[in-house]
Amino acid sequence: MSATSVPPSHDDLPTPMVQNRRLIPRLVWVVPIAAAVIGISLLIRNWQNAGPQITITFLNGEAVQVGKTLVKYRDVTVGRVAAVGLSADHQTVVVSADLSKDAVSLLKADTQFWVVRPRIGVGSVSGLDTLLSGVYIGIKTGAATLSERHFIGLEKPPALSHGPRGRELQLHAARAGSLSVGAPVYFRQFQVGRVIDENLLPDGSTRVTVFVDAPYDGFVKPVTRFWNASGIDVRLGADGLNVQTESLAAVIAGGLAFDDGPIEALPAAAMPGEFTLYKNETEAMAPPDGDPHFVRMRFAQALRGLDVGAPVEFVGVNIGSVVAVDLGYEGQDRSFPVIVTAKLYPRRMGQAYELLAAQGKTESEETIAAFVGTLVSRGLRAQPRSASLLTGKLYIALDFLPASPRAAFDASNRPLELPTVNGSFQELEASVGRLVKKVNDLPLEQIAADLHTDLKDLHETLADLHNQVLPNAEDALSALHRTLDSADRTLDVESPLQRGLAETLSESRSTLQAVRELADYLDRHPDALVGGRRPQKMPARPATLSSEAKP
Amino acid sequence: MTALRQSLELGLVLCRTCGLAVSRESLRIDRRCPRCQSRIEHRTPFSTEMTLAWLIAGIVFYIPANLLPVMHTSGLLGDADSTILGGIFEFWRAGDWDIALLIFIASVAVPFTKFIAIGLLLFTVRRNSGWQQHQRTTLYRIVEFIGYWSMLDVIVVALTSALMQFQVLGTAEPRAGIAFFCAVVVVTMLSALSFDPRLIWDRPS
């Protein structure tokens, strides 16, 4: 504007203007620098947030999707599957997952991973949300101090994903029965825990892992006995029908119960948290049986009705059970004896066992065999007996039968072989047979014929009686009636007989009076008998006399 | 190649606002158009420098725009963060190749074309190259034209986020990536704007 007045020769004028304006274009570099700063800060933050990458090995990668499947701890997302691949030997699926930084502390050496899928069981339904959202990988952090980046995933979820407080116990049993994971554990009918795992151990027994929740785990003591409370326990005893069950759920899904066992029966050196699982409450509460001893018995008779598990009773006390019933063969006499193997628990003999133990007779197999030998020489025999005539079941009785013939006993046999006698039920059968034979031999027909004749005679006699005797009897009875009637009349007070009798009596009384007076007089005057009656000299005396005699 | 003479040779400068031809001599005294008072420059000052700065900013922003999720959807079928490239792959795999192609062109092809085109223009201008001047001018016009088409993605996210609000059934929320993507578009447009196409025709005298 005013610059027009400035002569064009001023060449140096634009210079400061140009310098002034240079700053603004320079400022534009702030933008890329800012962009770079933002980008780098993002990168740094990302890098800082980026947690570890872990690998988990599963048997299969069903429904696990790269970039979609999440890794969740307590239902909070802590990571995401980054890759799914096969292991080098193509036997397993290797899942790589990127975890967030705060998940690092979860990665212990014993941290467990599993794929959460919908699962429906009798006791529980889980993972239903994954039906819609797809599967995810669950974490259960471990307690180990070592951290780890490579894991072997579980094929089924652990029953306790996030440790509630309580105690985990291992129960050992020959068989688990109808137990399943999630089955309840009862303490006096209260549910205090549940079964969290079941394993088949290499030796074929089962190990059941149970979890008892926190306030109740104090009830589990070293003396605690666990038993299988599945199903319904129906018992018909002397006290009537007894039905016992823990709960309806236990009936369906199976269950466990525990309670304090007998105090004196403290188990030996069991690991803490390891218990035996008994078949039922009765068995659980029984004092410990100790180790069984096996014996063998050879019976020369059929043993129909003797089952495996049948009791073996020693003097009426159940000390064991039959474990096998086999058929043997005797080459000498070509017979087929029945060989019964039984296990005996000497500890069940109670006090007797303790006494024997105190005498050192239970120390070794040899001392036991020797002791049994002395018992055999005293007449110990095994004998099959009928437990119930109704069912025909047999049991083995070990009893002292001194009358039985001597039997050989080899103390070196293993298992020990006990001498046997034939069953009492056979003798019973024989005597019953004899009885039946006698009954058969009776001349029943003859007796019947005789009886028939006798009866006929009797009948005739009775007819005679009716026809002849009875009418006469009737006459006799009416005559008797008349007689009694007249007797009645005779005895009546108003009857002439009575009156006469009364008079007679009164007269006889007077007579007697006179006789007494005479006797009195004679007493006083015995001479009167000779001299006769004297005239009355002393008036007083006769007065008294007369007054006495008059009445 | 051309018989046309350049304004510089004639000692003239054109006002870009009102089209007044001003003698170059007068600009030494006053850099404003005598008629409309607009600032008159023979060439936009620091044009290449500013273009380069915006371009670099755009390229830098383009990285997080692609790496970060642009949208977060959650619903019955679970939560998902989607990035631009992830979305394209997903559409492609689902069989919607047309949509995938559209998003690809708008979000990947266009920004890339712009980066390369502006970079090429800057490079050739710096070298004072006389190569393909006509085509380069056309290229510049295309770059200017397609610039705002990249906003397609931003609009898709904005609309989806606004419309898809069904609480439990499904919700969509924008994520940081879309802001970066928006910045890419704006910055590259500024970059194209600050480029002076007249430089293409400047030949070394």
Question: What mean pLDDT comes out for the span A154-163?
Answer: 71
Return d(Cα B46, Cα B126) in angstroms, integer: 12
- In this structure, of A58-67, A406-415, B129-138, the range with the lowest mean pLDDT score is A406-415
Question: What mean pLDDT comes out for the span B77-86?
Answer: 77
Give the SS3 label for residue A292.
coil
In sequence order, the β-bridge partners of residue A73 are: A76
Return d(Cα A425, Cα A419) in angstroms, integer: 18
In sequence order, the β-bridge partners of residue A168 are: A211
Which residues of B, range 65-94, sit inside 8 Å of A by Cβ? 68, 76-80, 86
Residues B103 and B58 in one domain: yes
- In this structure, of A47-51, A310-314, A341-345, B152-156, the range with the lowest mean pLDDT score is A47-51
Cα separation values, A67 from A60, A298, A371, B191, Å: 17, 73, 76, 36
Percentage of chain A lying above the pLDDT 70 cut: 82
Residues B60 and B37 in one domain: no
Q: Which of A279-283, A327-331, A460-464, B150-154 has the highest mean pLDDT?
A: A460-464
3-state SS, A412-440, equals: CCCCEEECECCCHHHHHHHHHHHHHHHHH
Question: Distance from CA of residue A509 to its chain's centroid?
Answer: 98
A31: nearest CB among B31, B54, B68: B54
Return d(Cα A137, Cα A38) in angstroms, integer: 34
User: With an 8 Å Cβ cutoff, is A29 touching chain B?
Assistant: yes
Q: What is the pLDDT of residues A100-146, one digit of tens each?
A: 888 888 888 888 888 888 777 655 667 777 777 778 888 888 778 88
Contacts of A25 in chain B (CB under 8 A): 45-46, 49-50
Question: What mean pLDDT comes out for the span A313-334?
Answer: 86
Return d(Cα B8, Cα B23) in angstroms, integer: 10
Q: What is the pLDDT of residues A346-368, one digit of tens each?
A: 777 777 777 777 777 666 777 77
Give the SS3 label for residue A317.
strand
Q: How far is A71 from chain B (nearest CA, A)?
A: 13
Is the pLDDT at A242 greater than 80? The verdict is: no
Residues A68, B56: C-beta atoms closer than 8 Å: no
A28: nearest CB among B25, B53, B80: B53
The CATH number of the domain where B124 resides is what? 1.20.140
What is the number of H-type helices and E-type strands within chain B?
Answer: 9, 5
Is the pLDDT at B183 greater than 80? The verdict is: yes
Q: Report pLDDT for A460.
A: 92
Q: Report pLDDT for A508.
A: 93
Asked if B51 and B195 touch (Cβ cutoff 8 Å), the reply is: yes
Residue A456 confidence class, pLDDT cut points 50, 70, 90: very high
User: With an 8 Å Cβ cutoff, is A47 touching chain B?
Assistant: no
Percentage of chain B lying above the pLDDT 90 cut: 1
Which residues of B, range 109-138, sit inside 8 Å of A by Cβ? none
Residue in A with minimal Cα distance to B53:
A29
Q: What is the pLDDT of residues A286-296, one digit of tens each?
A: 776 777 888 88
ipTM of model: 0.73
Q: List the single best residue of B26, B35, B50, B59 to mutate versus A (max A Cβ within 10 A).
A: B50
Classify burial at A524, counting beta carbons within 10 Å of its beta carbon; exposed 0-12, middle 13-18, buried 19 or more: exposed
Question: What mean pLDDT comes out for the span B156-181?
Answer: 83
A8: nearest CB among B28, B54, B68: B28
Residue in B with minimal Cα distance to A3:
B29
Residues B72 and B164 in one domain: yes
Is the pLDDT at B18 greater than 80? The verdict is: yes
User: Residue B174: which H helix or E strand, with range?
Assistant: strand B170-174
Q: Report pLDDT for A264.
A: 55
B60: nearest CB among A22, A25, A39: A39
Asked if A359 and A349 touch (Cβ cutoff 8 Å), the reply is: no
Residues B105 and B195 in one domain: yes
User: With an 8 Å Cβ cutoff, is A232 touching chain B?
Assistant: no
Helices (H), A5-102: 14-27, 30-49
Residue A450 confidence class, pLDDT cut points 50, 70, 90: very high
Q: Report pLDDT for A511.
A: 94
3-state SS, A259-289, equals: EECCCCCCCCCCCCCEEEEECCHHHHHCCCC
Residues B61, A22: C-beta atoms closer than 8 Å: no
Q: What is the pLDDT of residues A177-189, one digit of tens each?
A: 777 777 888 888 8
B30: nearest CB among A3, A28, A38: A3
3-state SS, A458-519, equals: HHHHHHHHHHHHHHHHHHHHHHHHHHHHHHHHHHCCCCHHHHHHHHHHHHHHHHHHHHHHHH
Percentage of chain A lying above the pLDDT 90 cut: 7
Residues B54, A42: C-beta atoms closer than 8 Å: no
Residue A548 confidence class, pLDDT cut points 50, 70, 90: very low
Q: Report pLDDT for B77.
A: 63
A134: nearest CB among B60, B78, B187: B78
Residues B67 and B161 in one domain: yes
Residues B154 and B108 in one domain: yes
Residues B124 and B31 in one domain: no
Q: Report pLDDT for A19.
A: 42
Asked if B18 and B36 touch (Cβ cutoff 8 Å), the reply is: yes
User: With an 8 Å Cβ cutoff, is A37 touching chain B?
Assistant: no
- In this structure, of A58-72, A188-202, B36-50, B60-74, the range with the lowest mean pLDDT score is B36-50
Return d(Cα A171, Cα A303) in angstroms, integer: 38
Which residues of B, range 137-176, sit inside 8 Å of A by Cβ? none
Residues B139 and B55 in one domain: yes
Q: List the single best residue of A2, A13, A24, A28 to mutate versus B (max B Cβ within 10 A).
A: A28
User: With an 8 Å Cβ cutoff, is B187 touching chain A?
Assistant: yes
Q: Report pLDDT for A74.
A: 83
Contacts of A42 in chain B (CB under 8 A): 64, 68
Domain count, chain B: 2
Is the pLDDT at B45 greater than 90? The verdict is: no
Residues B58 and B132 in one domain: yes
Residue in B with minimal Cα distance to A12:
B28
Is the pLDDT at A551 greater than 60? The verdict is: no
Residues B142 and B178 in one domain: yes
- In this structure, of A6-10, A154-158, B28-32, B49-53, the range with the lowest mean pLDDT score is A6-10
Residue A481 confidence class, pLDDT cut points 50, 70, 90: very high
| Token reading at B156 | 């898709």
Q: Report pLDDT for A545.
A: 47
User: With an 8 Å Cβ cutoff, is B63 touching chain A?
Assistant: yes
User: With an 8 Å Cβ cutoff, is A42 touching chain B?
Assistant: yes
CA angle A530, A533, A536 (to 5 degrees): 140
Return d(Cα B27, Cα B15) in angstroms, integer: 11
Q: Report pLDDT for A311.
A: 87
Is the pLDDT at A525 greater than 70? The verdict is: yes
Burial A402-436 (b: 16+ CB within 10 A, else e): eebeeeebebeeebbbbbbbebebeeeeeeeeeee
Is the pLDDT at A6 greater than 70? The verdict is: no
Is the pLDDT at A470 greater than 80? The verdict is: yes
Residue in B with minimal Cα distance to A10:
B29
Return d(Cα A312, Cα A322) in angstroms, integer: 7
Q: Report pLDDT for A536.
A: 60
| Token reading at A109 | 């050496």
Q: Report pLDDT for B5.
A: 67
Q: Report pLDDT for A544.
A: 46
Residues B18 and B66 in one domain: no
Residues B93 and B187 in one domain: yes
User: With an 8 Å Cβ cutoff, is A38 touching chain B?
Assistant: yes
Residues B187, A31: C-beta atoms closer than 8 Å: yes
Contacts of A3 in chain B (CB under 8 A): 29-30
Query: Which amino acid, one-letter code, is at A319?
Result: I
Closest residue by Cα to residue A344 from A318, A307, A326, A324:
A318
Residue B9: domain span: 1-42
User: With an 8 Å Cβ cutoff, is B54 touching chain A?
Assistant: yes
Residue A153: phi and psi, rounded to 5, are: -75, 155
Question: What mean pLDDT comes out for the span B113-137?
Answer: 85
Which residues of A, range 120-149, sit inside 8 Å of B by Cβ? 132-134
Return d(Cα A516, Cα B152) in angstroms, integer: 172
Question: What mean pLDDT comes out for the span A505-530?
Answer: 88
Return d(Cα B121, Cα B4) in angstroms, integer: 22
Q: Report pLDDT for A458.
A: 93
Residues B78, A132: C-beta atoms closer than 8 Å: yes
Contacts of A132 in chain B (CB under 8 A): 76-78
Return d(Cα A196, Cα A180) in angstroms, integer: 8
Residues B45, A17: C-beta atoms closer than 8 Å: no
Q: Say if strands A150-152 and A50-58 run parallel, antiparallel, or are unpaired.
A: parallel
Give the SS3 label for residue A56.
strand
pTM above 0.90, yes or no: no
Q: How far is B47 from chain A (nearest CA, A)?
A: 8
Asked if B70 and B166 touch (Cβ cutoff 8 Å), the reply is: no
| Average pLDDT score, chain A | 79
DSSP codes of every residue in B7-20: HHHHTEEE-TTT--
Q: Report pLDDT for A240.
A: 67
